[in-house]
Amino acid sequence: MKELTHYVNGAHVAGTSGRFADAYNPATGEVVARVPLATPAEIDAIVEKAAVAQEAWAKVNPQRRARVMMKFGALINDHMDELSEIVSREHGKTLPDARGDVQRGLEVVEVCMGAPSLLKGEYMGDAGPGIDLMSMRQALGVVAGITPFNFPAMIPLWKMAPAIACGNAMILKPSERAPHTALRLAELFSEAGLPDGVLQVVNGDKEAVDSLLDNDTIQAVGFVGSTPIAQYIYGRAAANGKRAQCFGGAKNHMIIMPDADLDKASDALIGAGFGAAGERCMAISVAVPVGKETADKLAAKLMPKIEALKVAPYTAGDDVDYGPVITAASKERIIGLINSGIEQGATLKTDGRDFSLQGYEDGYFVGPTFFDDVTPDMDIYKEEIFGPVLTQVRTENYEEGCLSIPEQYADVTRPAEVEVAWIDLDGAEQ
């Protein structure tokens, strides 16, 4: 079994805490690596090294920083197949999904290649009598990114590329469930010419996160994950005077009008609801057809498509629709919510609880599940399931459909305005 490391000052460094988390292959349930969990002392030492590296990196002009980004982008493109395979292996998503994950991250890197123009300040002469105004863009210093398991490439690249292009040093704490991709990206960044210490990858759990939030040197924190943890990180970071950008969970709805093309609507729901096993915050897990006839027709369109979905490990080929969920605990939670839907009166149209795959009986697979007649008081409606479960809420008219969207998930003026999220069906979010 492989023992992973931290990535510090351009090299792999073993953890010293003696504490580890297990990383699994979600398709088999096997432990494939031990992930070191950093102590506060390790975090502080890593941040101190990053602070030294950042001072020199901030003095490098934007054109030269952009060259590093260009080389890094080229290396990601050269290693696209390798990175996609790492993502698939540790997350369980299909190879096309994984390629979308890496590609979306690469696009952020490509934007950061324009650092010289993006970092320009502003100047206004004679803003007042004898007064000129000038603004300058300067690096903050050392910043931290705390990223989730479901997009092991895209979200770390969201965090590290802009921060580093702007002259900061980045401490990246990837999910301990999916750390391999981040470590490989760090190697490629070093190969691209990034000075040692500008990007540090540290593995850890809540103890490591708290250390990052409490460290005085760290000036800003970016987080993507569940809503309760987003609230916790935002509160603690703000209390310590740090800038914080925290993205939590979501419960996304698709309203289907009577004149909609139901073939296209059902195709979109299949891709958005079941892609990546439903493990993405932009998954559309709630269909809201307007009118009984629309609901009946939509369900009839969905059923054969759901039953035809191919659920398998990514190694089964590019025609796999989705793979396992990330952990045994995730599978157990999803099945518990399906059970609650049955108990609370929803109509179970397809049941994925007993899904089993020959040769992968210990994998964390959940079959495609579809509920009809769901009401807003049910747990499967209120909770972000984060699994391959699609629910249908029936409404009589458009206004009722808009009002079915919970306040905590949609900051809209009802029913006049509805915020629309577009889902890229290749497996990534935009």
Residue 328's φ and ψ, nearest 5 degrees, are -65, -35
Q: Are 389 and 338 in contact (CB under 8 A)?
A: yes
Question: Would the CA dihedral through 217, 220, 224, 227 be positive or negative?
Answer: positive
Residue 402: pLDDT band with limits 50, 70, 90: confident
> pLDDT tens across 82-126, in order?
999 999 999 999 999 999 999 999 999 999 999 888 898 889 998
Which option is the CATH number for 2-125+135-247: 3.40.605.10, 3.30.470.20, 3.30.1330.90, 1.10.1040.50? Answer: 3.40.605.10
Residue 414: pLDDT band with limits 50, 70, 90: very low
Active-site annotation, residues:
281
Residue 424: pLDDT band with limits 50, 70, 90: very low
Q: How many CB atoms lie within 10 A of CB 330?
A: 20
Lowest mean pLDDT among 76-80, 117-121, 198-202, 288-292: 117-121
> Taking 90 as the threshold, does the pLDDT of residue 416 lie above it?
no
Q: Give me the pLDDT at residue 117, please.
A: 87
> pLDDT tens across 58-86, in order?
999 999 999 999 999 999 999 999 999 99
**Whole-structure pTM value:** 0.91
Beta bridge partners of 255: 288
Residue 403: pLDDT band with limits 50, 70, 90: confident
Domain spanning 252-409: CATH 3.40.50.300: no
> Taking 80 as the threshold, does the pLDDT of residue 406 lie above it?
no
Residue with the bigger pLDDT between 408 and 286: it is 286
Q: Which residue has the tokens 């007993």?
A: 354
Q: Which residue has the tokens 């002259």?
A: 167
Q: In what order do the strands lie in the sheet with 389-392?
A: 252-256, 284-289, 389-392, 369-372, 347-350
- Please report, for the chain, the start and end positions of each structural domain, with discontinuous segments joined by +: 2-125+135-247, 252-409
The C-alpha atoms of residue 299 and residue 369 are separated, in whole angstroms, by: 13
Q: Give me the pLDDT at residue 375, please.
A: 95
**Around 148, how many Cα atoms within 13 Å sit in the side-chain half-sphere?**
19
Q: Give me the pLDDT at residue 428, please.
A: 37
